[in-house]
């Protein structure tokens, strides 16, 4: 059952493409995270990146994006039309498919804690992840923007963050949470009079007596007055209702709409409902749209075609190293499955606390090993680039190759270490996990053994190319230990599974 989470972080930079493109690339480097859209507005000096993926990938990519933004963006130097509190201003998670709100809340809290602990950035939780009623709304947290927050965070108790230090930082604060689909939708008017745009915004937004799920402000963008809106629940306040109300309010001032603008992505259903309304297709069913019918027909296919096709292509990556990482991730996934099949069963109540701990560890390992699939391919590509670089020669070139070779060996070495750890967890799951899934737990140990063996081959071949043979020998010694230990663990798991009646 494929799980999909969407993340739509907003960054306080819309004027330097090299910055928001670098942030987007940090997301792309996380395997399983897919950047769908990058929207930047120079006037607002803000960019919005939309990406999706499995929960683990989205969680890691969100952290990497926040870390990268902190390196580039200084709020003391930032100016723009849009309200903002931090370099990564807001980072919402949205459940898309086979994921609950509660699962997204856990993602938001883990990312928040990591951002606070590792990056030293103040984090506030909002929306469904909020820990206090007064922080449910983003606008309440962002009151006074960065400048007031900077002055108050260390002295005003209400400003104490959920995670991270209560002190000023040039990265500002990041607001992380969970919300439904939000449609960022702007309407331009045939005037440069922002006062009229603000009057229309007041008429439309809920806080001034307008439509229930609409937030709106007036701005001047590219010489035109703009009604900038967030539609927080398009199911209850459809996009066409908002469009028509803005059109009527504009007509009251003798104005018309010149164009509308979608920022980022929006659910297909929002536009289907608008089409039905405008075309009066009252009896139209969603699955009459060809693409929807096709998606439904293929939704149960779990085969990882992209990876298999990429591996089989006439390119050196992904290769054995990435395949080792995949095997390790599968090992962790199998142990995770057994843990989930054990939790909540009365028969295993006595080991529930231990299983919960194992589940947390398998989830973390699966994520690390999944990320290594892409890291291994990237390390090999960097090594090839070092060899091919004609701009560098002599000792400088040899040093660059040496460093790239070292990195190309360290990635599979990490895979071997983590896969050995996965084998340990598999043995534990074989011992106490659901007896009906004991062969899956043993399979996890065998898969981990394969991962260690293949990763070890990749480390050794890179070690041969190192000038620093002391390092290569240290690698070989550690690999021998890892292989021996994992072999023993796999045999132990298989024997244990047989004893418990697995086969």
CA distance 226 to 376: 47
What's the half-sphere exposure (Cβ side, CA atoms, 13 Å) at 428?
A: 20
Could you tell me the two tokens for 262?
A: 């979608």
Look up 72 and say whether it is catalytic: no
Q: Quick one: DSSP state of residue 285?
A: -
CA distance 96 to 101: 10
The closest alpha carbon to 3, from 59, 64, 63, belongs to 59
Residue 424 gets the label, from left (phi > 0), alpha (psi -120 to 50) or beta, of alpha
**What are φ and ψ of residue 444, in 5° steps?**
-60, -40
**What are φ and ψ of residue 101, in 5° steps?**
-60, -40
Which is catalytic among the residues 34, 72, 82, 253? 82
Residue with the two structure tokens 């701005």: 219
| Helix pair 394-432, 469-499: axis angle to 10 deg | 20
List 441's β-bridge partners, or say none: none
Could you tell me the two tokens for 190?
A: 């045939």
CA distance 218 to 249: 13
CB 23 within 8 A of CB 68: yes
List 122's β-bridge partners, or say none: 173
CB 498 within 8 A of CB 478: no
CA distance 58 to 51: 8
**Nearest 10 degrees: Cα torsion 475, 476, 481, 484:** 140
Find how far residue 29's CA is from the centre of its chain.
Answer: 11
Look up 82 and say whether it is catalytic: yes
CA distance 204 to 216: 7
CB 117 within 8 A of CB 39: no
Other CB atoms within 10 Å distance of the CB of residue 391? 6
Sheet of strand 183-189: strand arrangement: 214-221, 224-231, 183-189, 257-263
Say whether the peptide bond before residue 318 is cis (omega within 30 degrees of 0): yes
The closest alpha carbon to 251, from 315, 191, 332, 311, belongs to 191
CB 343 within 8 A of CB 376: no
Which is catalytic among the residues 56, 89, 162, 376? 376
Give the residue numbers annotated as catalytic, written as ranges: 82, 376
């Amino acid at each position: 059952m494929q799980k999909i989470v969407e993340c739509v972080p907003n960054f306080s930079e819309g004027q330097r493409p090299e910055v928001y493109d670098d942030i987007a690339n940090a997301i792309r480097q996380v395997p399983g995270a897919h950047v769908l859209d990058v929207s930047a507005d120079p006037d607002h000096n803000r960019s919005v990146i939309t990406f999706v993926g499995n929960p683990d990938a989205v969680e890691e990519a969100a952290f990497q994006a926040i870390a990268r933004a902190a390196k580039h963006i200084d709020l003391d130097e930032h100016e723009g039309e849009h309200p903002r509190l931090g370099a990564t201003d807001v980072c919402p998670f949205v459940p898309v498919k086979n994921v609950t709100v509660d699962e997204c809340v856990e993602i938001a809290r883990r990312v928040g804690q990591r951002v606070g602990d590792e990056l030293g950035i103040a984090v506030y939780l909002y929306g469904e992840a909020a820990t206090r009623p007064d922080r449910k709304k983003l606008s309440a947290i962002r009151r006074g923007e960065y400048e007031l927050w900077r002055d108050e965070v260390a002295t005003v108790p209400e400003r104490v963050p959920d995670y991270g230090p209560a002190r000023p930082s040039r990265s500002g604060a990041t607001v992380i949470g969970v919300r439904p689909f939000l449609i960022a939708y702007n309407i331009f008017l045939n005037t440069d009079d922002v006062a009229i745009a603000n009057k229309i915004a007041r008429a439309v937004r809920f806080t001034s007596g307008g439509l229930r799920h609409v937030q709106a402000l007036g701005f001047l963008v590219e010489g035109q007055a703009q009604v900038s809106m967030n539609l927080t629940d398009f199911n209850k306040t459809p996009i066409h209702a908002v469009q028509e109300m803005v059109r009527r309010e504009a007509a009251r001032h003798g104005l018309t709409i010149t164009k509308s603008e979608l920022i980022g992505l929006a659910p297909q259903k929002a536009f289907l409902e608008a089409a039905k309304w405008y075309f009066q297709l009252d009896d139209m069913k969603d699955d009459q749209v060809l693409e929807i019918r096709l998606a439904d027909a293929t939704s149960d296919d779990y085969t990882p075609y992209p990876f298999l096709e990429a591996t089989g292509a006439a390119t050196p990556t992904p290769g054995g190293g990435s395949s080792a990482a995949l095997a390790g991730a599968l090992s962790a996934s199998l142990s995770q499955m057994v843990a989930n099949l054990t939790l909540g069963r009365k028969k295993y109540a006595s080991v529930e606390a231990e299983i919960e701990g194992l589940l947390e560890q398998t989830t973390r390992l699966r994520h690390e090993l999944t990320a290594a699939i892409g890291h291994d391919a990237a390390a090999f590509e960097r090594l090839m680039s070092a060899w091919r670089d004609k701009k560098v020669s002599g000792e400088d070139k040899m040093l660059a190759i040496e460093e790239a070779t070292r990195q190309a060996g360290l990635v599979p070495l990490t895979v071997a270490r983590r896969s050995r750890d996965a084998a340990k967890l598999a043995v534990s799951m074989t011992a106490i996990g659901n007896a009906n899934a004991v062969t899956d737990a043993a399979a996890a140990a065998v898969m981990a053994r394969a991962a260690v063996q293949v990763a070890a081959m990749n480390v050794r071949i890179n070690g041969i190319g190192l000038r620093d043979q002391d390092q290569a020998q240290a690698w070989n010694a550690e690999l021998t230990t890892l292989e021996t230990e994992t072999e023993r663990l796999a045999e132990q798991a298989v024997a244990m599974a047989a004893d418990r009646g697995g086969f």
